[in-house]
Amino acid sequence: MKRVYVATSNRGKLRDFVAAAQGKIEILPLPDFSSLPAVEEDGATFEENARKKAEYYSRVVPGEIVLADDSGLEVDALGGAPGVHSARYATPDKSENASDAANNARLLRELEQVPDAARRARFVCVIAVARDGNVLQTLRGQAEGRMLHKPRGSGGFGYDPLFQFPKLGKTFAELTPEEKAEVSHRGQAFRKFLDWIE
């Protein structure tokens, strides 16, 4: 079975990738990821950040395929924010990740006066595939939805409890990992990766 390493310490992302892989390839966390120096995610786009991470972390496991993703939420009423700063949205200087609870609280505050009709949003994921410091491919997925006024569901992570996927009438936090993999931005990008690697 083919194996790929994923450059993340985010357990939620790893769960998403494992669910999307459906046993077709082996998904492994990058060895000793938490002890490696962090890559500064200073790119202006999801693709720039994903490429930067993939190039850097693929040097850690020579000869192996490494995936790095950059993903986040774009809310139309906020001009596309939080965007590339999704994980750091509630941190004043955007230098380090904030807790999911803090990020969600800030988003809810900023959307307080925004009517339902103007709450369109999308999750975006860009996966960069690299080996030995060279990016081989980038793949993008996105899921359109809308932001709720309060969280629903206990699964998922990040903004999942606030993001309703209209076709299912559920938030991403109300879906099973398998259901989420079918419709999510990360699941879409990962299926493109499976097509590419085959």
pLDDT digits (tens, 9 = 90+) for 107-125: 999 999 999 999 999 999 9
Report how far residue 92's alpha carbon sits from residue 150's, in angstroms, rounded to the nearest whole number.
Answer: 23
Mean pLDDT of the chain: 95
Report how far residue 168's alpha carbon sits from residue 143's, in angstroms, rounded to the nearest whole number.
Answer: 12
What's residue 9's pLDDT? 86
Question: What SS3 class is residue 136?
Answer: strand
Phi, psi of 45 (to 5 degrees): -130, 160
The pTM (predicted TM-score) of the whole model is 0.92
Q: Which CATH number covers residue 124?
A: 3.90.950.10
Residue of 109, 128, 20, 132 lying closest to 71 (CA atoms): 128
Q: Which of 16, 32, 69, 70 is catalytic?
A: 70
> What does the pLDDT average to over 56-80?
97
Residue 96's domain spans which residues?
3-197
Report how far residue 142's alpha carbon sits from residue 139's, in angstroms, rounded to the nearest whole number.
Answer: 10
Encode pLDDT of 149-188 as tens digits. 999 999 989 999 999 999 999 999 999 988 999 999 999 9
Q: How many domains does the chain have?
A: 1
Examine the pLDDT at 96 and tell me if it is beyond 90: no
CB atoms within 10 A of CB 57: 23
Confirm whether 160 is a catalytic residue.
no
